[in-house]
Amino acid sequence: MFKLSEFLKYGDIAIQCHDNPDADAISSAFGIYAYLKRRGKSPKIIYSGFEKIKKRNIQNMVEWLNIPVEHVKNPEKFPPPDLLVCVDCQYGEGNITKIKAGDVAIIDHHLRVVKDEEFDLGVIQSNLGSCATLVWDLLKREGFDFAADKDIPASLYYGLLTDTNDFSEISHPLDKDMRDSLQVYCDRGIVRRLRLCNLTIDELEIAGVALLRNYNNFDKRYALFKSEYCDPNILGFISDIALQVDTVDVCAVYTIRESGARLSVRSCLREVMASEYAEYITRGVGSGGGHRDKAGGWLQKQGIDEMGLSIDEYMKTKTAEYFDSFDVINAFDHNIDLTSMKRYRKKPVPKGFAVSSDVFPEGTPMVVRTLEGDLNIKASPDVYLMIGVQGEVKPIKADKFDAYYGVCDEPVDVDDDIYTPTVRNEATGEVRELLPLMTPCISHADAPIFAAVLERGVKVFTEWTPNGYLYGSPGDYLVIKCDDINDVYILKEEIFFRTYEEDLSLNCEMSVSSISD
């Protein structure tokens, strides 16, 4: 994996933000700048474009947090550095002025647009809510001391806050980890002041005009709003107002930029999580995610152009497609035809488990953080946390564990390269990794299931997701325990076939094309 220490072999280093930089770009550059300074380098933070920074909150951020950022008015005259580090953008993209350099590195969280032959230094991780998160993770891996200078954690924290609309559009666990970690070190007073200087009179007018430009589907109770170019926080402000309309249960507000569109999503429907809707409409052409009620994302114009659609047409078409794409299952009240499903049994593959009350004391409110999302439970000797082959976590009652599993001595092969599941004490904020607390176990041979591959999207409401649902995409597997038809869940194809094998003794044809509750 790429490390910031790879930059140390260079002499003259410039860290470039995109033109008209936002808080995320500047905070990311500042984080890398601080690392290089502590390692004896003399880097510069620069940006170019026609205008200097005009937004008042960005000017305040630079001043209050002592960020040494320079505007390069004539990029052709800028002395080529040995290394140019592009942050929150990609070299050659439309939102960054090209500056000549010996070598170029990219640190970004947007969808990759550079070709392999143009990019061999740095890292692009497009599923994160902010570039600041990526920089924070890189700094953490280098053992960076965040307590030594409060300006650094405050800038990174504010970068994530602004790029995720006040944390409402966070989806990746690393974003959540950074938010929880840095709030201990940063000056919350400065962050609070920065949060309250975001809206200008001009932006208030932009919001008013956007609310008039709406497309409504009264049948499905959703609406789309198009805004003039504006800061992401303004999109959230507009969408919060739009959701208060009595005929709107789900809304998306978007603003078009040169390279794509930024969007903000809101939902008050139990059957539509804003995070999942945002992920759906950005899939393959951007990135999106967030919370159950609030989310957001980014659409790459190039991908939409290749479809022969404008961004306006794409938003209408993709949203209509989404609302027609799924069925709903209530695990405790369904009429699924089990005779149409194949029967499988668990492979003798070691998994892991931890008793939740061994992680934190009994009764502790806990957030189990995984790639699949956050699980909110209370620590109890009767609730175990099962850890699967890709680090996925599923709560299970103690009596069910005893019925299906037994402790073993075999090593557990968990693929945790992407993210290691953690558990957070909601009362104290203490975070513990789950894998070191894991005990190996293996399933009994007599734990059969019914399963079917999904041809449509399915949303499953279970005992563990009372305020949300498990979402299954086409190609995922719907799983039902043979001895408990109310135990319904979703597994990705790769995880399913690593965990289960077909039970040939009780096989039947399988075709599940439409399931409803």
Query: What is each CA distance from 412 to 7, 348, 349, 407, in whole angstroms?
Result: 36, 12, 8, 12
Percent of the chain at pLDDT > 90 equals: 51
Query: For residue 132, what pLDDT is reported?
Result: 96
Query: Could you tell me the pLDDT band of residue 508, with boundaries at 50, 70 and 90?
Result: very low
Residue 380, burial from CB neighbour count under 10 angstroms (0-12, 13-18, 19+): middle
Q: What is the 3-state secondary structure (H, E, C) of 396-436?
A: EEHHHHHHHEEECCCCCCCCCCCCCCEEEECCCCCEEECHH
CA dihedral over 358, 362, 367, 373, signed as positive or negative: positive
Query: For residue 1, what pLDDT is reported?
Result: 78
How many CB atoms are located within 10 Å of the residue 284 CB? 8
The CA distance from 166 to 231, in Å, is 12
Query: Could you tell me the pLDDT band of residue 514, with boundaries at 50, 70 and 90?
Result: very low
Tokens matching residue 199: 């809206």
**Pairing, β 13-16 against β 83-87:** parallel
Give the residue-averaged pLDDT of 337-349. 87
In the sheet where 431-433 sits, what is the strand order?
A: 373-378, 365-370, 422-425, 431-433
- What are the residues whose beta carbons fall under 8 Å from the beta carbon of 463, sequence distance 6 or more? 331, 332
Domains and CATH numbers, the chain: 4-195 (3.90.1640.10), 201-324 (3.10.310.40), 326-348+445-517 (no CATH), 350-441 (no CATH)
Q: If we measure between CA atoms, which residue out of 254, 257, 248 comes closest to residue 313?
A: 254
pLDDT for 461-485, tens place per residue? Answer: 887 776 678 888 899 999 998 888 8
Give the residue-averaged pLDDT of 228-256. 90
The CA distance from 178 to 153, in Å, is 9
- What are the residues whose beta carbons fall under 8 Å from the beta carbon of 87, sequence distance 6 or more? 15, 16, 17, 25, 28, 29, 32, 107, 108, 131, 135
The CA distance from 420 to 68, in Å, is 35
